[in-house]
Amino acid sequence: MTNSGKRVAWVTGGGSGIGESGAEFLAADGWIVVVSGRRKQELDRVVAKIVAKGGQAEAIALDVSNKDEVNKAAGAIVAKHGRIDLLVNSAGVNVPKRSWEDFDLDGWNKVVDINLNGVLYCMRAVLPIMRKQKDGSIINVASWAGRHVSKMTGPAYTTTKHAVLALTHSFNMDECVNGLRACCLSPGEVATPILKSRPVPPSAAEQAKMLQPEDCGRTIAFVASLPPRVCINEILISPTHNRGFIATPKSND
């Protein structure tokens, strides 16, 4: 930490959903937040909202599946702020065609490139500065599907989220000696825009019973607020009304 006490957080997938809410809660806690995503208009909206509430935020448009763009973004943050204290990997996608019956390799590659390779690219991009600082935290947003195999999420999404969990634990095994720590945040159903990519999107009534983005955003800020001696390796969080535990009509999958 610098003498000024400045804390810099980089949030991917920051233009909507969990990433947006995480950025808001972090900014409210005094973090300088850099939000990244593919849609600049969404990022600008999030930045304006944070600034209007007295927070500090800026935006860098990027595609996390492009490692050159990722490295350039990390370099720009370090060049401007001199450090990166927190990385929140929240960028993620799924595709409508997600069963063994109808999924295709283009859909598989898209999910893997963003949900897994993008996470790895961002972790590698922040690693040099965090090692130099001897301090740094990473929060990887995975999924309930990273712990429990589900037909609903499909093979590509389920596989990538399991891999993110393993990636997080392997990071802690190697980098704990450098004062670095990572948390795998695995939420159950969250009412975010990604639900629109389901073959049959859940109804408004069903979404109201799900986790909301602010539930995950508050959790991200909590993990980030803990002292460097604390590593929360993973968090498995779900709605109380967990549809995975309740028999639901197949049309709701």
For the annotated catalytic residues, the residue numbers are 157
- Closest by CA position to 137, among listed 251, 225, 39: 225
DSSP of 144-178? GGGTS--TTTHHHHHHHHHHHHHHHHHHHHHHGGG
Say whether 221 sits in a helix, a strand or coil: helix
Do the Cβ atoms of 182 and 172 come closer than 8 Å?
yes
What residue spans of 32-66 are helical by DSSP H? 40-52
Reading the block at residue 114, the tokens are: 């963003």
Q: Which tokens belong to 181?
A: 């720590």
Euclidean distance between the first and the last CA atom of the chain, given in angstroms as a whole number: 46
